[in-house]
Amino acid sequence: MIENLNKYGEVLENVSLKKYNTYRIGGITKYFVMPNDIESLQKLIKYLNENEIKHMILGNGSNVIFSDDIYDGVIIKLDKLNKVEVDGLFLRAQAGVMLPKLVQISVENNLMGLEWAAGIPGTVGGSIVGNAGAYKSEIKEFLLNITVIDSQGNIKIIYPSEIDFKYRHSSFKDELKDLVVVSAVFGLMPGNKEESLKLMEDRRARRMESQPLEYPSAGSVFRNPEGDFAGRIIECDVKLKGKTIGGAKVSEKHANFIINYDNATSQDVKDLIDLIHTKVLETNNIDLIVEQEFINWE
């Protein structure tokens, strides 16, 4: 074992990553650590960086594509950072809190603003890093401040104005990638529990009708190009709806979803994404941008 990782939290070795991403694909990670608390995470981050040990933070794995290879490093999962505090119109949530739980707590306290996030299977931390959004709302709109840990294990508070948020992207993925999100404060509005629940149920029904939620997937594969929809292009222009490679398939219900319908490998999913990208570029001269992040690929 690398030093004594269990002093920082729960440690698992040689873990299948299939259990920890919504595609249910991927290889094995040498080390998998769930820190006990923020202080333990600070010490772990400092140790890994000082010793130049490969590592990454994993949220709920709802927007990643792990390769089938071994991840020769440490995967850090923040499940134990799961506290939420309510103070008037403000919510303070730790990075490991799932968005549906955060929405539920806000609604129970008659707070309005986050209902759009009720169906997003991501964590607070991962959703901030990826600027999660739905129904024309984005998480950046509700952020007041973010607590982060830098590469030396120091705690800092930063503000949305210091972060470059874009569509399904933030500077936490590039120039701020050395910072680890550990909590955030959200500013909401007075609401009505019954109205919020009705809105959430309506949207849940719409998702069930239009998205292949019965299969493992990672949501929309490609960003919508300006003035069009990736799903329409894939279905109507390049006729790849229902296309399969190995156990991966372009969903019959929504062509911008790739599903793991029959024990797909990571390579199956990547090959299907590459095929769609190539066909759309050849046919429509559109360079579709993949929303999902490729992890541990050469």
Q: What residues act catalytically?
A: 168, 220, 291
Sheet containing 258-260: order of strands: 244-245, 248-250, 258-260
Q: To the nearest 10°, the Cα dihedral for 206, 209, 211, 213?
A: 100
Rounded CA gap, 34 and 56, in Å? 12
Cα torsion angle, 125, 128, 131, 133, sign: positive
Q: Which residues pair with 29 in a beta bridge?
A: 15, 71
DSSP per residue over 14-39, as a string?
Answer: EEEGGGGSTT----EEEEEEEESSHH
**CB of 128 within 8 A of CB of 94?**
no
Q: Which residues pair with 157 in a beta bridge?
A: 147
Residues 6+ apart with CB under 8 A from 21: 58, 61, 62, 64, 65, 66, 218
